[in-house]
Amino acid sequence: MTDYKPALLELLGQEALQRGEFTLASGKKASYYLDCRKITLHPKGANLVAQGMLSVIQEAGELPAAVGGMAIGADPITASIVMLAGQQDLPLKGFMVRKEPKGHGMGQQVEGPVEPGQEVVVVEDVITSGGSALNAVDACEAFGLKVREVIGIIDRLAGGKEAFAARGLTLKTLCDITDFGIAPE
């Protein structure tokens, strides 16, 4: 497998990184914004993210049963990883976490071919405080899944890693903001 990181960093810099004054989901102000949907929904970007995340997952040894995360941000990441795994004949499935349980049907918050007791990896695009991915972890655990780790595309180095550690979880990312010469805010 080729090294995905140089090409991913180039594409992130060209397509996703914007400079200016922004308000983040946490309410904090920032001098830059990362719109990773411009990467996860890009043909080259989707492949690079899938390559990188699948390689991180495989480094841990045995494959988990599935990968997934909070809808809508994690959905294209999940789909790309599952597709690449399928092309490599790896039995890695995907799942999605709704922001809240459905009000009809089975009323589930976690959707997909997963069952309680299975080990999973939660994926996310941008890690800031970790709030969105931690919500996904909570939903997975409430469903009965065992979350092995969280993998993000990029870490803003704004407390997310520490928030996961406080919950006994490991955060791994494909890159962080210092890869762009930006100091954590």
Is 20 labelled as part of a ligand binding site?
A: no
Is 42 labelled as part of a ligand binding site?
A: no
Query: What are the backbone angles phi and psi of residue 81, rounded to the nearest 5°?
Result: -65, -45
The enclosing H or E element of 149 equals strand 146-155
Is 156 labelled as part of a ligand binding site?
A: yes
Encoding tokens for residue 138?
């909570």
Residue 129 identity (one-letter amino acid):
S
Is 57 labelled as part of a ligand binding site?
A: no
Is 126 labelled as part of a ligand binding site?
A: yes
Is 104 labelled as part of a ligand binding site?
A: yes
Q: Which of 94, 30, 47, 97 is nearest to 69 (CA)?
A: 97
Encoding tokens for residue 170?
């490991």
Is 38 labelled as part of a ligand binding site?
A: no
Is 132 labelled as part of a ligand binding site?
A: yes
Is 44 labelled as part of a ligand binding site?
A: no
Is 167 labelled as part of a ligand binding site?
A: no
**Cα distances (Å, whole numbers) of residue 176 to 88, 151, 157:** 28, 12, 7
The conformation of residue 63, written as its DSSP 8-state character, comes to: P
Is 124 labelled as part of a ligand binding site?
A: yes
What whole-number distance in Å separates Cα of residue 178 and Cα of residue 155? 9
Is 102 labelled as part of a ligand binding site?
A: yes
Q: Helices 43-59 & 75-87, crossing angle to 10 degrees?
A: 70
Binding residues: 98-99, 102, 104, 124-132, 156
Binding-site annotation: residue ranges for orotate: 128, 156
Q: Which residue numbers belong to the known binding site for 5-phospho-alpha-D-ribose 1-diphosphate?
A: 98-99, 102, 104, 124-132
